Chains A and B, each alone.
Chain A
C-alpha cells in the first residue's frame, strides 16, 4: 500500500486489458447473432466448446505470468483424454474414478513439466516441446485410433446437465471460481513477482524454482479439467484431438494480457478471449465463407483483431 500510485497504474492497465478483451468477445458474439440469429438456439453448445480452450488458456496464463511458457498443453489434454478412455474400456474404471483419472494424469504431467523447467532449469519452450512430443507419442501408443464409448452417466451429464443446469454454465462457474480463488491468494502474487523480476524475487527470499514448479503443477491440474470437459464433449478418446489447441490457448492468454516476459495477465480477460476465439469459428461459418477459404479468412480476421488490440493497448 506504500506505492499507491504504482498500484493505481497497475489497476488501470488491468482494466484496459479486461475492457479490450470483453469488447473482443462481445463484438464477436453479437456480430455472430446479427449475421445468423439462429446462433441463439445453439449458443449453449458453442459455449460448451469454449470451456476446454478456456481452461487451457488459464493453464497457459498461470505459466506465462511466471515468465515461462508451456508448449505441451494440447498434447497433455490428449494424453489425459486417451488414458481415461483406455482405462474405462479395458479395465472398467468407472464412477468418480473416471473423473479422478483425468485430474491425476493432468497433475502428473504438470509435475513432470514443473520438475523439468522449475527444478532442472531447462529452457521452458524447448523442454515442454520435448514433453509435448512424448505425450503425443504416448497417446498414440495407448489408443492408435479414436475409440469409445465413455461411461453412460458421464455422457448424459453433458447432454442433460447437472441437476438441470447445462454443463457450459457449470464450466464457466468453475472457471470464474478458480480464477477468483487464485486472485485472492498469495500464490498468484508470487507468480507475478517471479515473472516480472526473478532476481529481485530471489533476493526477497522467494524460492523461484519452487514457485515455477508450483505454477506448472497448477497448469497440469487445469489441463486435467480441460480434458474432462473435452472427453464429455467428444464422448470418446481421440489421440489427435488436442495438438492444435496449444497455440490457440497461448493466443487466448496473450489477448488476456499475458506477455512472454512474464508478470502480467488477467484470468477473466483470458476466459473472455478464449470464448471469443471459439465463437470466431462459428462466425466464419455463419458468414457463408466457402469451405476451402475458411482457414484463410479465419486466420486473417484473427490477425487483424490481434493487431487492433495490441495497437490500442499500446504495449511498449
Chain B
C-alpha cells in the first residue's frame, strides 16, 4: 500500500510550491523590489521554527484521521520562556537538554492520554497546552524575562539555522520513507485495525510520535528565542500550533498519506503570507480576516470530503 504512491499524490506535493512561487510573483507585481535575496533569506530564517513544529505535526497527522497536536505552539512558548530564564546562568547545551526534557515529558503525556486513556487528541493536546501555559506563568510570575546570548543569536541567523533545518528535514524524510519506524507510521495511518492485527505496537508508536512532536516543538522555542532575542509574551507563540497543522495539511498530509516534503511547501506558503501582511502594513484585524479568507479559498480546492455518490 505504502509503496504504491499514485501520480496524483506526487503532483500534490508540488502544489504548495507552486502557490509559494505564485505568491512571490504576486508580491513582486504589487510592490516592485519585493522579490529579493534578502527576502528569501529572511523567509528561510523565519520559517524554521514553524518548519520544525510542522515536522512533528506531519508525523502526528500521518498516524490517523483524528490525530493532531495543538500543543506544539505552547511547547515552543514554554521552552522559549524557560530557556531565556535558564540561559542567564547556564550554558547553552544544558539549557537545550532541559528544554528537550520538557518536550519529552509533555509529549509523552499527550501520547499517553491519547493512546492509553483514549482522550480525543484535540482535547488532550489542548489541555497539555494549557498546562504548559500555566507552567510558564507559574515559573515567571507573569512577566517573562531574560535575553538570548550572542551564541544562540548566531546559531539562529541565516545560514546556520537554515542548514540545521535542511539536515533535520533530510533525516525526517529518510526516516519516514526508509525505516521500519516510518513504515509503521504509514501503516497505522492507512488502516489501524490491519496494522494492529499484523503486530505493530500501535499504542507505543503513538506515544513515541507525540513525544517526538513535543521535542521538536520545544526545540523550535529555543530557535524562536534566538530569532526574537527576548522572550515573547504568552499566547503570541502558541498561535503557531494551528499554523503548523494548516501547513502540514496544505502540504497534502493526511492519515497515512503525504510526506514532509509537501509540508515544507506549506510552511513556505504560510511564511510568505505573513510577510505579505507585514510588508503591505495591513492592520491586525484585517490580517486575521484575510488569513481566514485565504485559508477558506485554498480549502475550497483542497481537503474536501469524498462524495458519497460514487
| A184 interface hit (Cβ, 8 Å) | no
Determine if B308 and A137 form an interchain contact, defined as CB atoms under 8 angstroms apart.
no
Determine if B284 and A140 form an interchain contact, defined as CB atoms under 8 angstroms apart.
yes
In the complex, which residues 276-316 of chain A have their Cβ closer than 8 Å to any Cβ of chain B? Answer: 292-300, 302-303, 306-307, 310-311, 315-316
Q: Give the contacting residue for A137; candidates B113, B249, B288; CB below 8 A.
A: B288
| A180 interface hit (Cβ, 8 Å) | no
Secondary structure at the B interface, as helix, strand, loop or mixed, is: helix
B contact residues, total (Cβ < 8 Å): 45
| B174 interface hit (Cβ, 8 Å) | no
Determine if A260 and B66 form an interchain contact, defined as CB atoms under 8 angstroms apart.
yes
A314 CB to nearest B CB, Å: 9
In the complex, which residues 124-177 of chain A have their Cβ closer than 8 Å to any Cβ of chain B? Answer: 125-127, 129-138, 140-141, 144
Say which one of A46-54, A86-94, A246-254 lies at the interface with B: A246-254
B191 CB to nearest A CB, Å: 16
Residues of A in contact with B, size category = 35 or more
Determine if B308 and A208 form an interchain contact, defined as CB atoms under 8 angstroms apart.
yes
In the complex, which residues 93-123 of chain A have their Cβ closer than 8 Å to any Cβ of chain B? Answer: 116, 120-123
| B304 interface hit (Cβ, 8 Å) | yes
| B137 interface hit (Cβ, 8 Å) | yes
A209 CB to nearest B CB, Å: 8
A259 CB to nearest B CB, Å: 7
Residues from chain B with Cβ under 8 Å of A260 in the complex: 66, 120, 122
Residues from chain B with Cβ under 8 Å of A19 in the complex: none
A69 to B123, CA, bound (A): 12
| B289 interface hit (Cβ, 8 Å) | yes
A295 to B140, CA, bound (A): 13
A131 to B122, CA, bound (A): 18
| B287 interface hit (Cβ, 8 Å) | yes
A127 to B298, CA, bound (A): 10
A284 to B16, CA, bound (A): 46
A134 to B293, CA, bound (A): 6
Determine if B123 and A250 form an interchain contact, defined as CB atoms under 8 angstroms apart.
yes
Determine if A123 and B304 form an interchain contact, defined as CB atoms under 8 angstroms apart.
yes
Q: Which of A116, A138, A294, A299 has the most CB of B within 10 A?
A: A299
Determine if B123 and A306 form an interchain contact, defined as CB atoms under 8 angstroms apart.
yes
A296 to B290, CA, bound (A): 34
A251 to B128, CA, bound (A): 13
| A232 interface hit (Cβ, 8 Å) | no
Determine if B295 and A130 form an interchain contact, defined as CB atoms under 8 angstroms apart.
yes
Residues from chain A with Cβ under 8 Å of B303 in the complex: 122-123, 126
A138 to B119, CA, bound (A): 33
Some 18 contacts from A to B, beta carbons below 8 A apart, are: A120-B304, A121-B305, A122-B299, A123-B303, A123-B305, A126-B295, A126-B299, A127-B296, A129-B246, A131-B296, A133-B295, A134-B292, A134-B296, A136-B288, A251-B123, A293-B137, A300-B131, A303-B131
Q: B-side interface residues toward A, CB under 8 Å?
A: 66, 68, 113, 117-120, 122-123, 126-128, 130-131, 133-135, 137-138, 141-142, 242, 245-246, 249, 284-293, 295-296, 299-300, 303-305, 307-309
Q: A-side interface residues toward B, CB under 8 Å?
A: 69, 116, 120-123, 125-127, 129-138, 140-141, 144, 198-199, 202, 208, 247, 250-251, 254, 259-261, 292-300, 302-303, 306-307, 310-311, 315-316
Known contacts A121-B305, A137-B292, A259-B120, then 16 further A-B pairs from the complex at CB < 8 Å, ordered by chain A residue: A122-B304, A126-B299, A127-B299, A133-B289, A135-B292, A137-B287, A137-B291, A141-B286, A202-B308, A247-B122, A251-B126, A260-B120, A295-B134, A295-B138, A302-B127, A310-B118
